[in-house]
Amino acid sequence: METIERKIQNQLEKNLPFVLYSKPNSEETTVFLQHNDSVFEINDFGEKGFVLASFDGSKTYLIPENESEIAHFVLDKTEIQFSPKKDTLLDAVSKTDFEILVAKGVQAIKEEHFKKVVLSRTEQVEVTNFDMFETFKKLVNLYPTAFVYCFYHPKIGNWIGATPEQLLKVSENKLGTISLAGTQKDTGSSEIIWGEKEKEEQQFVTDYLVERLKKVASAVQFTKPYSIKAGTIWHIKTDVSGVLNSDSSLEKVIKLLHPTPAVCGLPKEVAKEFILKNEPYDRSFYTGFLGELNCSFAKGTISSDLFVNLRCMQIKDSQAHLYIGCGITKDSNPEKEWEESVNKSMTMKKVL
């Protein structure tokens, strides 16, 4: 029997698209191997397959279920080797530029343009002989509670990541999402203490999700906030659920939620405009979303399982382009936000 690694190697040799992914806390890995190199786009979210969408909503691509070979397998994790950690030199210019951007965001909040904005930066790391499958295995091993994926399409790009954040899960008429915000590095302490800035930032996200979901769902409920660990980083999380109204569509729900305040800001449209105008690069699929769209597989029920594309990188011309963002509120300190972005960048750097 042909190994999964060999199948992926064949796709790469033939320049054919594929996506490889493992869901949070799952032993199983799924692969979609597309039979041709066509680019399929989403029209109304009624399609079936694996979706990859951009932050600004202008690009929404699909690896279709009916155009692919789909396989499920269990990864052999025993052979994974991690190379010794190398210190990467951080660019003083990048630090200054990011701190100026954050200060601009804080000023706009003080002037009451919006309550919160998520600002990001990009970092390049040289990679030679990049091995996608090996990197994917390392990410699954390091971040078992994340949605880990590797997406390749010769006409779209090569993205890989381990995201802790669910955008939306819909099974028949039941839907669920999460509110995730606040960041602190794991210090080994048994008690996680959150400051007002982080609590407020997370509450913004929860309030937004509950308010939005009430427009398309009934019986909307949410848990109390709790701390959750993603790799070496802690976040505050709230689970939100509801029952989809009979006159609501998946497309309507996705458009209401994406981009969430956790990756954009509040109010959404003004914050999004500020990001597109002031960030010095195109986010592309970073802070977009991805995952299973209307897939049935062997379970019999059609379900969508979508995640926000955080903690990710794009592999291009022997370089890994890392993307890192921070939630900015009126109390944000530019230098501390820079330090937070450096901590977050370690998620991907660990496997390079």
What residues make up the domain containing 334?
4-75+91-349
pLDDT at position 230: 79
- Of residues 230 and 332, more confidence is placed in 332
In the predicted structure, residue 283 carries a pLDDT above the cut 80: yes
In the predicted structure, residue 335 carries a pLDDT above the cut 70: yes
If you count them, how many residues does the chain have?
352
pLDDT at position 89: 59
Closest C-alpha to 235, from 128, 100, 143: 143
Mean pLDDT of 307-314: 96
Angle, CA 284 vertex, CA 323 and CA 198 arms, to 5°: 45
In the predicted structure, residue 296 carries a pLDDT above the cut 80: yes
Distance CA 158, CA 164 (A): 20
Phi, psi for 285 (deg, rounded to 5): -90, -10
In a domain, 80, yes or no: no
In the predicted structure, residue 87 carries a pLDDT above the cut 60: no
The residues, ordered by sequence, that sit 6+ positions from 77 with a Cβ below 8 Å of its Cβ are 137, 140, 141
In the predicted structure, residue 49 carries a pLDDT above the cut 90: yes
The Cα-based distances of 316 to 255, 295, 313 in angstroms read: 30, 30, 10
Asked if 35 and 67 touch (Cβ cutoff 8 Å), the reply is: yes
Mean pLDDT of 275-292: 97
In a domain, 84, yes or no: no
- Is omega for the bond preceding 267 within 30 degrees of 0, making it cis? yes
pLDDT band at 80 (very low <50, low <70, confident <90, very high): low
Q: Render the burial of 307-338: b for 16+ CB within 10 Å, e for the rest.
A: bbbbbbbbbeeeebbbbbbbbbbeebebeebb
pLDDT at position 338: 96
Asked if 348 and 315 touch (Cβ cutoff 8 Å), the reply is: no
In a domain, 82, yes or no: no
| pLDDT 10s digits, 165-219 | 999 999 989 999 999 888 888 888 878 999 998 898 899 889 989 999 999 999 9
pLDDT at position 84: 52
pLDDT at position 184: 86
| pLDDT 10s digits, 122-157 | 999 999 889 999 999 999 999 999 999 999 999 999
Asked if 17 and 25 touch (Cβ cutoff 8 Å), the reply is: no
Least confident of 67-76, 122-131, 215-224, 226-235: 226-235
In the predicted structure, residue 298 carries a pLDDT above the cut 80: no
pLDDT at position 146: 94
In the predicted structure, residue 333 carries a pLDDT above the cut 80: yes
Structural tokens at position 201? 């930032």
Per DSSP, 116 falls in state E
In the predicted structure, residue 86 carries a pLDDT above the cut 80: no
Q: In angstroms, how far is the first alpha carbon of the chain from the final one?
A: 30
Distance CA 82, CA 78 (A): 12
Please report, rounded to a whole number, the percentage of residues in the chain having pLDDT higher than 70.
Answer: 95
How many structural domains comprise the chain? 1
Please report, rounded to a whole number, the percentage of residues in the chain having pLDDT higher than 90.
Answer: 76
Strand partners, 33: 18, 69
Distance CA 246, CA 338 (A): 45
Distance CA 227, CA 243 (A): 26
pLDDT at position 311: 92
Mean pLDDT of 290-308: 89
Taking each helix axis from N to C end, the angle separating 4-13 and 132-142, rounded to the nearest 10 degrees, works out to: 140
- The enclosing domain of 136 has a CATH number of 3.60.120.10
In the predicted structure, residue 78 carries a pLDDT above the cut 70: no
pLDDT band at 1 (very low <50, low <70, confident <90, very high): low
Angle, CA 291 vertex, CA 288 and CA 294 arms, to 5°: 125
User: Chain-wide mean pLDDT for the chain?
Assistant: 92
Per DSSP, 225 falls in state P
Q: Is the dihedral of CA 269, 270, 271, 276 positive or negative?
A: positive
Pairing state between β 226-230 and 233-244: antiparallel
Q: Is the dihedral of CA 106, 108, 113, 117 positive or negative?
A: negative
In a domain, 81, yes or no: no
Amino acid, res. 219: A
Structural tokens at position 305? 């399982």
pLDDT at position 85: 54
Cα atoms found within 13 Å of the Cα of residue 308, Cβ hemisphere only? 25
In the predicted structure, residue 306 carries a pLDDT above the cut 90: yes
